[in-house]
Amino acid sequence: MNDFHKQLKDYLDFLKYQKNYSDLTITAYQRDIEHFLLYLRTEGIESLDAVEYVFLRGYLTQLYQENLSAKTINHKMSSLRGFYRYLLNQELIHDNPFLLIDSLKEPQRNPDFLYIDEMTDLLDSIETNTPLGRRNQAMLELMYASGLRCSEVVELTIPQIDFYRHLLLIHGKGQKDRYVPFHDYAAQCLKDYMETDRLELMAKKHLDHQYVFVNKFGGKMTNRGIEDIVNRVTQKYDATKKIHPHTFRHSFATHLLEQGVDIRVVQELLGHSHLSTTQVYTHITNQHLKEVYDHAHPRNK
């Protein structure tokens, strides 16, 4: 079992020093993986490579018996899927059986969002060794950084970007303009893409326009094009996830509220006319808070 814990320690170090994950996120991964390692010990499994799909069905049965919610179980599977992906990349195992585990159907929730660590994993999984890959990174980083609607990304033009103040002038629904900030990392991804890759893509057809995000022929991006990009990125990251362009906007709002941002500030950033539209996110964050409480409080065992 010592090898198990060495592999876990190496993985957590990888998340901290290579991925730059927060201590809170790393602790969540560690908790999920240690729970699984404890199950391996009780079942007499001596190698992570010996874990097969049939065995995982038994583990899922135990999670059901612990009365965990579908959302919590899905989060554990996501943590373990990432752990095994790392082991596979390090050639410590030969297969990732967690790829065979479908996400459980969760009670209908509106809106859909990803956990912070899931969103970070998704964005970090984007391949950036091609112009289109760097375009995808810049676009999805900006969508999450600023909570943009799909249509707002499509219509974004160069004059709307203020790199000095890190602000976007967004023309939203109902001809309502708003300013939204974007962070340093998104700014760097956007600059790298615009200074080289965008021009290279537009040069293919000798195009000249102000739209920021372009397709493979250098033309204006479309809503359907963004959906296809999100689908392709998701398939490579985790084929069991159901992620759409609005997931980035929903996650943006949920994560800000979880970090204590005033709901009226979030309303302004999202461009909602009515506070009641934004309040749906408080329900989601309260639900998440209750699940964390139920899982953590000693007297709730």
Higher pLDDT, residue 2 or 207: 207
272 is catalytic: yes
Amino acid at 147: G
Position 1 scores a pLDDT of: 46
- Residue from 41, 173, 191, 224 carrying the catalytic annotation: 173
Q: Is 128 contained in some domain? A: yes
244 is catalytic: no
Higher pLDDT, residue 282 or 222: 222
* Number of domains, the chain: 2
179 is catalytic: no
94 lies in the same domain as 138: no
Which residues, in sequence order, are CB contacts of 163 under 8 Å at separation 6+? 187, 191
Q: Residue 152 — pLDDT band, cuts 50, 70, 90?
A: very high
153 lies in the same domain as 217: yes
Domain span at residue 68?
2-107
Position 166 scores a pLDDT of: 95
Domain boundary residue, one of 88, 107, 126: 107
197 lies in the same domain as 86: no
143 lies in the same domain as 86: no
Mean pLDDT of the 242-264 span = 90
Mean pLDDT of the 23-47 span = 89
- Residue from 81, 85, 249, 255 carrying the catalytic annotation: 249
- Residue from 16, 71, 220, 246 carrying the catalytic annotation: 246
pLDDT tens for 175-219 read 789 999 999 999 999 999 999 999 999 999 999 999 999 999 999
- Residue from 81, 149, 198, 250 carrying the catalytic annotation: 149
Task: Tell me the Ramachandran region of residue 219: left when phi exceeds 0, alpha when psi lies from -120 to 50, beta otherwise.
Answer: beta
274 is catalytic: no
Domain boundary residue, one of 77, 107, 137: 107
Is this structure's pTM higher than 0.75?
A: no
281 lies in the same domain as 179: yes
Distance CA 300, CA 176 (A): 47
CB 183 within 8 A of CB 200: no
- Residue from 11, 144, 193, 281 carrying the catalytic annotation: 281
Domain boundary residue, one of 107, 132, 167: 107
